[in-house]
Structure 1
């Protein structure tokens, strides 16, 4: 017998939620065939079979959150393969190397008659979308590399099958399905209470639970101080428009990240981590900027490594790539670790101010809020219309003081308010 257990598949995870089994009791499986889809606090991953054999028992049911080391299912097998090599992560996709060629045997009627199996190549997120639409992924023809099925393939299949609905109906169907699934997983007494009080019950697990733990740890460990400031983006926005006319489109956030990296070099105390046990403040030599990103499953922080070495254009491209992968749940562990300072660009959402919580164990976090035009008094007491952005910087008062925080944001302001300085300051 072989026990398939939940093991650590990314940066010290302690638990995971069982989303979906690809097999059932009695199914024959091969080495490296995906058995189960697991949601950790940072990613969705497939666990492959360590051996060939037959599924004897499924121990943990869908929707259950279990700790690392828990037995998920049992195989009848004699040949056992180490699981660790199969879970080595692909840097470019956030999926296990073996998963790229892993298969899900979902035979069509024709192939079943011939005793053949069709091998499916699709990322966990793509499989999830197919299940939400009630689509048999085995029936979809992939247009990706080596026949991989993409999300677009799923949507196109749904459209051709006349299964797609209006956005309103899709949302209603999704909500209804979620509620039905949730009700099946909560005790009958809770269901009764839900009906009596007309309260919607949401699961508190997976990424949301991990976010809660980390925020609580940060807030109860770090004495937070928030420093508020304004920056005049008029010249920077004009510079961006000039670049657009030249066919170069660079986001304002890319300029912010580069300016932060430059300012951190002058004020390294904010690119530091406090080691209380050894009574030292460790000044990091790498400038890795975390980007707080809002996703459907909750907040996640991909990291732009060595931001000080990248050009603004390279930062823009990397920011765009990481944001897309975060939204599609395709980030790798390497793309989410090693951060030394975090930014949160909430301005596009409409925020005018906040008291952000630091991404523990970092020392600082700066949030950029809405930019709006307003009358400003300039030289010679003249009033003019300028584009003003508000920002709030939270810092660990054990490591840095208010005066240093003000000096740091002043340096950042100087850079983004005066684009003409960039050729000599950011080289």
Structure 2
């Protein structure tokens, strides 16, 4: 027998919610075949089978949240081929993690008589299939190594239901989603009733929302937060962006912000640091990995742009688009989430004018960029001009840095984004 346990599939993960099983008791499975999906605070991940055999018992029902190390299901293995994960849990967890991350390169197993074929499909693709009530085993994948894509699902639905246009597909998806009665990955509202009347409406507090709450509470009660407020004049930067657009170069303002942050962090490394209380040292990180706070349907998530100091503004822009898309589609990998040293939050497009952001523990600082609006400003020659002014809030760990250093840091950042002419000689 092999016990399949929840192992750490992400940085600092302590628990996860079982959201879907691909197998049931009695099913035959092969090594590395996906068994179930788990929702952590950062992503949805598939857990592969560590051995070939049959599913003897499902221990944890879907919808339940369990801690790392909990047995999820039990396999009856095929003799000596079994991988005894309970003997070496750390080694087995490492192998499972490698299998999870290398899944796109796996080869599909041909369907045999009386046996399900090994399906290669991303969690997001499987989710789409469930929403349309599609048996994914009936689909032939057109992707690499027979991988099933979202387009394959849509094509199957078109043929099955006679749907012709993308609009009809979306409408059908909405109807199916509303009609489904089985538990879903998305947050579900449930009515709480007594015998005579409806008393209240509740939202389940679990999955990513629960993990976000834990991390925010840890940060707020561990770090003495101080928030420094500042304004920056983006008039010249926005004009520079317009000049670039005329050259068919479209780069977001946030890409400039990230590059300027990386440059400023090199001059003020205390904000690219982590406090190690146990060893009583402040570790100044040598990599400049900028986390991007991203709003998704399931809650806040922070993918990371690694080595931002070594990337051009255009490369940062492309990476930002890629990570945002993956976050919205729940396709982020563990690598996309690891190694952040400083975090930014661009809430301006939502209409924010100020905040007191909570630091992404164990980092030292976080900057939130708020709404940019045109307003009259008294210039150095005492003339009044209309300028584009952005407000920002910088939260920092007062155990590691002081207010004067925070002001100097934001002043350097302001200098860079307010004066694009400095970029050719400053941003290398």
Q: Output the TM-score relative to the length of structure 1.
A: 0.88
| CA RMSD, Structure 1 to Structure 2 (Å) | 2.8
Task: Give structure 1 stretches of 5+ with no counterpart.
Answer: none
Partner of 1:97: 102
SS at match of 2:258: helix
Structure 2: tracts of 5 or more residues without a match: 86-91
Cα deviations by residue, 1:136-186 (Å, 9 ceiling, x for unpaired): 2233343333332222333344345256758688557645647x738xx99
Residue number in structure 2 paired with 1:359: 360
* 1:315 match: 316
* Residues 342, 153 of structure 1: alpha-carbon distance in 2 compared, 3 angstrom cutoff: same
Partner of 2:124: 125
Q: Does 1:220 align with 2:221?
A: yes
* 1:18-417 pair list within 5 angstroms: 18-77=18-77, 78=79, 79-81=81-83, 83-84=92-93, 86-89=95-98, 95-98=100-103, 100-101=105-106, 115=114, 117-160=116-159, 161-162=161-162, 174=177, 177=180, 181=183, 191-193=192-194, 196-417=197-418
- Give SS of 1:41's match: coil
Task: Tell me whether 342-351 or 117-126 shows the greater mean CA deviation.
Answer: 117-126
* 1:2 CA drift (Å): 2.1
Most deviating of 23-32 and 361-370: 23-32
Equivalent residue pairs, number = 412
Counterpart-to-counterpart distance in 2, 1:21 and 1:46: 10
CA contact (8 A) 2:132 2:176 kept: no
Q: Tell me how far 1:424 sits from its aligned partner.
A: 0.6
Q: Residue 73 and residue 166 in structure 1: after superposition, are their counterparts in 2 closer, same or farther (change >3 A)?
A: closer
Residue 89 (structure 2) aligns with:
none
The 1:58–1:102 alpha-carbon spacing in structure 2 relative to 1, beyond 3 Å, is farther
Offset from partner CA, 1:219-251 (integer Å, 9 cap, x none): 111111111111111111111111111121111
Q: Secondary structure at the match of 1:380?
A: coil
C-alpha contact 1:41 1:208 (8 A) present in aligned 2: yes
TM-score, structure 2 normalization: 0.87
**For each residue in 1:368-393, what CA deviation from the matched residue of structure 2 results, as whole angstroms up to 9, or x when unmatched?**
01112222222432222211111111
Compare 238-247 and 152-161 and name the one that shifted more.
Answer: 152-161
Deviations 1:345-396 (A, max 9, x none): 1112221211100011111100001112222222432222211111111111
Q: 1:225 to 1:64 in 2, by over 3 A?
A: same
